[in-house]
């Protein structure tokens, strides 16, 4: 009877030359994100991105952008710091494996993130004025 190959439970870093540790970190980031643990997801995506996984850098940038929208000075996190960190990771997402994907996608994601954050800030300002 032929042996069936089991599909790995881990997601790969598609199009990446990242090693197995980066792939495991990426998978753990996905799992944390699915379970609603944004801080854990950010920690694991950061590890995978630092190990050379461009998809992890994009996911980390998206996650940090969402955290900047949700959190503020009351939680101890600076939205400005989170936005700057997200933009940095978007730019880090370039890879030799996907040179066509890096810069244009990073610019688009940074632009979308900043537009979204600006709209949220304007909405919060209007709500404060209406509450007076």
Give this prediction's pTM.
Answer: 0.69
Q: What's the confidence (pLDDT) of residue 124?
A: 76
Asked if 42 and 55 count as a contact pair (C-beta separation under 8 A), the reply is no
Q: Encode the chain (132 residues) as per-residue pLDDT tens digits.
A: 443 333 334 445 655 556 788 899 999 999 999 999 999 999 999 999 998 888 898 899 989 988 888 875 555 667 888 888 888 888 777 654 455 555 667 777 777 877 887 787 788 788 888 887
Among 16, 9, 83, smallest CA distance to 56 is for 16
Q: What is the DSSP string of 6-22?
A: PPPSSPP-TT----HHH
**Which positions ≥6 away from 17 have C-beta within 8 Å?**
52, 96, 97
């Amino acid at each position: 009877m032929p042996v069936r190959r089991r599909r790995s439970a881990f997601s790969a870093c598609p199009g990446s030359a990242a090693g197995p540790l980066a792939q495991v970190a990426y998978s753990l980031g996905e799992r944390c994100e699915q379970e609603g643990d944004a801080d854990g997801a950010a920690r694991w995506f950061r590890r995978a991105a630092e190990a050379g996984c461009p998809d992890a850098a994009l996911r980390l940038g998206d996650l940090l952008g969402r955290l900047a929208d949700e959190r503020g000075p009351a939680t101890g996190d600076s939205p400005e710091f989170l936005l700057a960190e997200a933009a940095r990771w978007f730019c880090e997402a370039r890879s030799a494996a996907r040179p066509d994907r890096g810069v244009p996608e990073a610019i688009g994601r940074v632009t979308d993130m900043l537009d979204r954050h600006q709209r949220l800030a304007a909405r919060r300002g209007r709500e404060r004025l209406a509450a007076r």
